[in-house]
Amino acid sequence: MSAEEFEPNIVAFLCNWCSYAGADLAGTSRTQYLPNVKIIRVMCSGRVNPLFLVNALQQGADGVLISGCHPGDCHYMEGNYYARRRYTLMHKLLEHVGVDPGRVNMSWVSASEGAKFKDVVEDTVTKAKEAGPMEQFRRRRINW
Amino acid sequence: MDNLNRRPRIGVYICHCGINIGSVVDVPGLVEYASRLPGVVVAREYTYMCSDPGQNLVKEDIKNEGLNRVIVASCSPRMHEPTFRKTLKEAGLNPYYLEMANIREQCSWVHPDKEQATHKARKLVEAAVVKAMLLEALEEKEVDVIPACLVIGAGIAGIQASLDIADAGFKVYLVEKTPSVGGRMAQLDKTFPTLDCSACILTPKMVDVANHPNIELMSYSQLESIEGYVGNFKATVRKKARFVNFNTCTGCGVCAENCRLAGRIPNEFDENIGMRGAIYLPFPQAVPAKYTIDPERCLQLTKGKCGKEGPACAAACGPGSIDFEQEDELVEIEIGTVIVATGYDVFDCTRKPEYGWEDIDNVMTGLEFERLVSASGPTGGHVILGRDKKGEGGYEPKKVAFIHCVGSRDKSVGNEYCSRVCCMYLAKQAHLVRDKLPDADIAVFYMDVRAFGKGFEEFYDRVRREGVRYIRGNPSEIYRTGEDHTVVIKVEDTLTGTPMEYEADLVVLGVGLEPRRDVREIIDLFKLSQSTDGFFMEAHPKLRPVDTASDGVYLAGCCQGPKDIPDTVAQAKGAASSALILMAYGKVKVEALVSVVSPDECRGCGFCMEVCPFGAIELVDQNRMGNIVQVAQVNEALCKGCGSCAAACLSGAIQPRSFKDEQILPQIAVLGVRI
């Protein structure tokens, strides 16, 4: 697979109140963005168990994204702070075991930032493209 | 109907949403794809799933095909999840057996490439199917609603909402930051387009809120903290010390006359163009009519000493109401609903230095002009400028200019929006000048005139016929020439293309409305979202204009966005009725999506307890084969289902319902695969 053809697949965890709403706003404003990012809705970015990131990379995702409310704006007061700490730790750990740090991303997107969501998607995809296909953790697909 | 132990029988419904989805995503292909997914027994398409026939399709299939899981692939769950939950419930299925795939906002509206959009839609539907298999039936519990409402801000919005709720027989706590109720409307002179005297229509309502048996007015108070959930909030209100005994003060005003600083402190109510003392009543019609000592200015309070003989106010006060020892009081209240009506601030003209508001005395904001022209204002309603400190001398302006859109529709200051009231208040002010100074030359510089409301166009027309010149052009600069009062406005008349320099001796800036500068305090208390313009964001811009993302918290007035008085009153009535719905019914459904502990897997470490932002988790004793061990327990009334606990749990013993690890991992498995 050549670098031009490679279209990375990205799993995103968006919090229900800010980032998922921001992605909805990108939709209602017809902001076009890359289709590489597939969204899983969680109530709060604090819900994202860091192992979800590893799991996504194992399943074959080339990049992951966590997005929550801006610091201080969390619907549950402090969930995004927990998410940030866990993310930082997991980011370092994954880098340590040889995963390209560009695969693991986190952003703050509020409910009014549809345009920013597009930018975050583009940024995440660009970084994952640079990192190339994720092959390190591959395991056989589990049939649910 | 109990579906717990039965194999999943899934129905997938793909919505065309008119052509919103159907024109991009290959819906028949998607139906065909979905029908082959494991567990799916029915897959259908329909033009509008949310319509009655669409919902009936689901209901029929639940009955005839024995469906026990339903997937609707349509718009965002933030839009129609409640709708379809209700559909399931009506068909006798637990509403939490629903899963939605967002193929409109996340596919057809954002990916123009049909193939890519369809492919992504397939993945999203598949992820929904694998999650649906593992969904559980959840029970919605009802809790009692405390029949009391907290209203924050006593401007016209807060006053109207309080009166409506109180008249319906419910308790209202009306908290106002400043010493008097009335808000911005009390500062206005006349209202457009009817030219009602603002004070005359407002003051009776101000008196009503103070006297209403169901309203507890907490003026000069601030909300300190709030906790709890819809129906059951606990709030702490700080009643700031007035240093005046509230019960014995008669409001006679002798104290203010005797204050050593009388007439030397700019009065905020008069937009700092009038003066007050350190002990003051913001304006004569203030409610409650009780005096307040400004702790930042009072000599006794700041320096510990006032004159040789001690505080003159205390000496003059007949009932002996002055009390310098008074302290702030914290009051705890319990309420079921909250209405936020905190209002707005006008645009800060120092951010537009080219208009010279800071340096030139006779360039003033629209709100300052309201105080100048108001009969209760510092000049008694006479349009007189340049008075000395004793209120003598001064001159009447002969040429008056009004400037539209100062701090609105202006990207350079970061305000892209229209403030909705400036066009009309400037027209009204131009009329007032014409009324009071019949010989004055009046010019209005505008970008567009937006006279959209009832009677607005007629009023604008009337003002023009009164000899007010409307000149289309956005001034680039305002500056003073020589020694006299003349101010020059540099502008291009964009209709004729002529640059001109208009000389005036009074310039009124039509300042726009902005979110309050202390808006952060309320955001931090309630976790409200802001729109791009900084005003509070409503739950839905069209269909839920007074609700917020926090249940039981409603918005009224300009804190949600600029609006005029009738719109504010209408919204306040809307917010009041929303709060009343909860309180009149007396019960509210609480979040079913709460966390649940599997006690056998819990190791009692308490990590979940530490991260829970709501204190909803506690450790309790459990008898495990004769050994007493501690395990986590969730208080379902306090839990909001954020799931932070689950991410902290080492053994996975605590999980938020409908977002359990076992429900999310299959989604990851589907979406993670590149093909």
Output DSSP code: residue B108.
I
Q: Is the dihedral of CA B626, B627, B628, B631 positive or negative?
A: negative
Burial of B203 from C-beta contacts in 10 A (0-12 / 13-18 / 19+): middle
* B579, amino acid identity: A
* Shortest Cα–Cα distance, A95 to chain B (Å): 20
Cβ-based contacts of B119 with chain A (< 8 Å): 35
Is domain B142-234+330-344+516-588 annotated with CATH 3.50.50.60?
yes
| Contact assessment for residue A101 and residue A131, using Cβ atoms and an 8 Å cutoff | no
- Identify the residue whose tokens are 């610091």: A71
Quote the CA–CA distance of B84 and B105 in Å, as a whole number. Answer: 17
The closest of B114, B116, B128, B73 to A35, measured between CA atoms, is B116
B111, B537, B672 ranked by CB distance to A111: nearest: B537
Q: Do domains B142-234+330-344+516-588 and B345-514 have the same CATH topology?
A: yes
Does B1 have pLDDT greater than 60?
no
Q: Which domains does chain A have, with CATH numbers?
A: 10-139 (3.40.50)
pLDDT at B503: 94
Please indicate whether, in this complex, the C-beta atoms of B643 and A21 are within 8 angstroms of each other: no
Alpha-carbon gap, residue A11 to A53, rounded angstroms: 9
ipTM rounded to 2 decimals: 0.94
The beta-carbon neighbor of A27 closest among B110, B123, B667 is B110
d(CA A42, nearest CA chain B) in Å? 7
The residues in A 74-133 lying below 8 A from B, measured between CB atoms, are 74-79, 82-83, 86, 110-113, 133
* HEC profile of B147-210: CEEEEECCCHHHHHHHHHHHHCCCEEEEECCCCCCCHHHHHCCEECCCCEEHHHHHHHHHHHHH
> Which residues of chain A does B640 touch, with a Cβ-Cβ cutoff of 8 Å?
76
pLDDT tens readout for residues B524-571: 888 788 888 999 999 888 888 999 988 899 999 999 999 999 999 999
Q: Could you tell me the residue ranges of all domains in chain B?
A: 3-138, 142-234+330-344+516-588, 254-316, 345-514, 595-657
Confidence tier at A144 by pLDDT (50, 70, 90): low
Point out the least confidently predicted range of B34-43, B434-443, B622-631: B622-631
Average pLDDT over residues B132-144: 90
Residues of B in contact with A5 (CB under 8 A): none
Please state the pTM of the whole predicted model: 0.80
For the stretch A108-142, pLDDT in tens is: 999 999 999 999 999 999 999 999 998 887 765 55
What's the confidence (pLDDT) of residue B675? 67
Averaged pLDDT for residues B471-488: 90
pLDDT score recorded for residue A143: 59
**Which residues are within 8 A (CB) of B112 and not within 5 positions of it... i.e. 6 or more apart?**
A32, B24
Flag whether pLDDT at A1 surpasses 50: no
Chain B residues within 8 A of A106 when measuring between CB atoms: none
CATH of domain B595-657: 3.30.70.3270
Mean pLDDT, residues B414-431: 96
What letter would DSSP give residue B664? Answer: H
Q: Which residues pair with B480 in a beta bridge?
A: B487
pLDDT digits (tens, 9 = 90+) for B482-508: 778 899 999 999 999 999 999 999 999
CATH class of B345-514: alpha beta
Q: What mean pLDDT value characterizes chain A?
A: 90
Nearest CB among A32, A43, A48 relative to B110 is that of: A32
Beta carbons of B647 and A86 less than 8 Å apart: yes
Q: What is the pLDDT of residue A4?
A: 60
Hey, of B529, B538, B661, which one would you mutate to test binding to chain A, going by the most A CBs within 10 A of its CB? B529
Which of A1, A13, A44 to probe the B interface (max B CBs under 10 A)? A44
Q: A9 contacts in B (CB within 8 Å)? A: 671-674
Q: A144 contacts in B (CB within 8 Å)? A: 130, 133, 666, 669-670
Q: How far is B192 from chain A (nearest CA, A)?
A: 33
> Phi-psi category of A85—alpha, beta or left, where left has phi over 0 and alpha has psi -120 to 50?
alpha
CA–CA separation, B181 vs B409, rounded Å?
31
Q: Nearest CA to CA, how far is A77 from chain B (Å)?
A: 7
Closest chain B residue by Cα to residue A10 = B672
Q: What is the mean pLDDT of residues B54-81?
A: 94
Shortest distance between the Cα of B89 and any Cα of chain A, in A, equals: 23
Amino acid at A144: W
Q: What is the mean pLDDT of residues B114-122?
A: 95
User: Closest residue of A to B105, CA-based?
Assistant: A27
Subunit contact A47:B646, Cβ cutoff 8 A: yes
Quick check: A31 and B593 CB within 8 A? no
Q: What is the pLDDT of residues A50-88, one digit of tens each?
A: 999 999 999 889 999 999 999 878 888 889 999 999 999
Q: Which residue, B391, B403, B396, B395, is CA-closest to B366?
A: B403
Closest by CA to B423, choosing from B443, B444, B401, B454, is B444
Using pLDDT thresholds of 50, 70 and 90, give the confidence band for residue B168. very high
In angstroms and rounded to an integer, the radius of gyration of the C-alpha atoms of chain A is 15
Chain pair A-B, CB pairs under 8 angstroms: 165
What is the DSSP code string of B24-58?
TS-HHHHHHHHHTSTTEEEEEEES-TTSHHHHHHH
Say what the pLDDT of residue B155 is: 97
For residue B320, the 8-state DSSP code is -
Q: What is the rounded CA–CA span in Å between residue B652 and residue B405? A: 57
Quote the CA–CA distance of A11 and A65 in Å, as a whole number: 6
B413 Cβ partners below 8 Å, 6+ apart? Answer: B347, B351, B352, B407
* Cα B132 to Cα B12, B55, B68, B192, distances in angstroms: 10, 19, 10, 56
- Tens digits of residue pLDDT in B203-223: 999 999 999 999 999 999 999
Predicted local confidence at residue A141, as pLDDT: 57
Q: What is the rounded average pLDDT of the residues B453-473?
A: 96
Looking at the predicted structure, is the pLDDT value of residue B327 above 50?
yes
pLDDT for residue B3 is more than 50: no
Segment B284-309 mean pLDDT = 93
DSSP symbol at B7: P
Q: Among B23, B107, B642, B657, which would you mutate to test the A interface (most chain A Cβ atoms within 10 Å of its Cβ)?
A: B642
CATH topology of domain B3-138: Rossmann fold (3.40.50)
Minimal-distance CA residue of chain A relative to B76: A24
The residues, any chain, with a CB within 8 Å of residue B664's CB and separated by 6 or more, are A40, A42, A52, B131
**From B652, which residue of chain A is nearest by alpha-carbon distance?**
A49
Q: Do B120 and A42 touch (CB under 8 A)?
A: no
Model confidence pLDDT, tens digit, residues B72-103 = 999 999 999 999 999 999 999 999 999 999 99
